[in-house]
Amino acid sequence: MKMLWHFLSVTTLNSFHIYKRNGGRLKRINFLLELGEQIVRKYSSQITFGTRRSRTPMPSRFIERHFPSVIPPTTKQKPTKRCAICAEKKIRKKSRYWCQKCHTGLCPAPCFEIFHTK
């Protein structure tokens, strides 16, 4: 991990110097933030997860538009899912709402907003 972070740091520093040499006007911190946003925008749709759900949240939930919707009925008339935010707080709460893009059960307020902003 130490080597990975070192090479990542050297690579971003070199790219910043090339950017400045070609007339770039951003400060280094703003350059790094812009670089990170562009990488997430470009590669977030290509991230694939195995059959098990990853504990790491998908970065796309922060940059795409997501809306709460009612969980569609299956064999149950009113299906529910555990709220991901409440579960992190060790509160056992079920909700009839979810984010269809994230496939995550969430309470409509405030958990939906918390999940997609923090």
Task: Give residue 78's Cα distance to chain centre.
Answer: 28
The pTM (predicted TM-score) of the whole model is 0.46
Q: Nearest-5° angle of CA 95, CA 96, CA 97?
A: 90
For residue 48, the model assigns a pLDDT of: 56
Domain ranges of the chain: 2-46, 60-117
85 near 106, Cβ under 8 Å? yes
The kind and range of the H/E element at 6 are helix 2-21
Cα angle for residues 30, 34, 38 (degrees, 5° grid): 170
The pLDDT of residue 51 is above 50: no
- Between CA 82 and CA 106 the distance in angstroms is 7
**For residue 16, which amino acid is it?**
F
Decide if pLDDT at 26 tops 90: yes
What pLDDT, on a 0 to 100 scale, did the predictor assign at position 21?
Answer: 96
Which stretch, 15-24, 49-58, 90-99, has highest mean pLDDT? 15-24
2: confidence class by pLDDT, cuts 50, 70, 90: very high
Confidence of residue 63 (pLDDT cuts 50, 70, 90): low
Closest to 115 (Cα-Cα) out of 43, 45, 61: 61
Asked if 58 and 40 touch (Cβ cutoff 8 Å), the reply is no
Mean of the pLDDT values across residues 7-23?
A: 95
Instruction: Flag whether pLDDT at 22 surpasses 90.
Output: yes
